[in-house]
Amino acid sequence: MLLCSCLDCQRATGSGHSSVALVPTSALTVTGTPKSVSRKADSGAAFTRHFCGECGMPLYGQSSRAPDLRMLAVGFFAGQTNWFAPRQLIFARSQQAWDLVGDHIARHQRYRESPP
Ligand SMILES: [Zn+2]
């Protein structure tokens, strides 16, 4: 569980960061046909955001760097997010001064520097 303050997440969310839960691809079942948009991330990887083609709701993202993971947009579960407990913020280098995040959350200038 993490927060991402990269500029792409800021643009995609219209806010200071995205709130993300990483899940194994195998744990996710999608019905219907989401729409998607891919673009090149800072890392050079292809990052694809999937969203509902009917209402535009963000659903999940995926990176070519981590094909076995999906990044769930936590806001999708609005009203039922008691389980969400982010412990890190990535791309702190582009975090906005007005985007207040608790000091207990570790900051990484880009990606997390060390494995979990
Ligand atoms: Zn991001």
Residue 114: what pLDDT? 55
Architecture of domain 2-107: Alpha-Beta Complex (3.90)
Does the predicted model carry a pTM greater than 0.85?
Answer: yes
Is pLDDT above 90 for 113? no
pLDDT digits (tens, 9 = 90+) for 63-76: 998 999 999 999 99
The mean per-residue pLDDT over the stretch 57-61 comes to 93
CA 60, CA 40: separation in Å to the nearest integer?
Answer: 16
CA 113, CA 108: separation in Å to the nearest integer?
Answer: 7
The mean per-residue pLDDT over the stretch 18-29 comes to 95
Is pLDDT above 80 for 43? no
The CA 80 to ligand 1 mean position distance, Å, reads 22
The CA 70 to ligand 1 mean position distance, Å, reads 13
* Model confidence band, residue 44 (pLDDT cutoffs 50, 70, 90): confident
The CA 28 to ligand 1 mean position distance, Å, reads 20
Domains of the chain, residue spans? 2-107
The CA 60 to ligand 1 mean position distance, Å, reads 12
Could you tell me what percentage of the chain is helix, strand and coil, using 3-state DSSP and rounding each to the nearest 5?
15, 35, 55
How much is the mean pLDDT over the chain?
A: 92
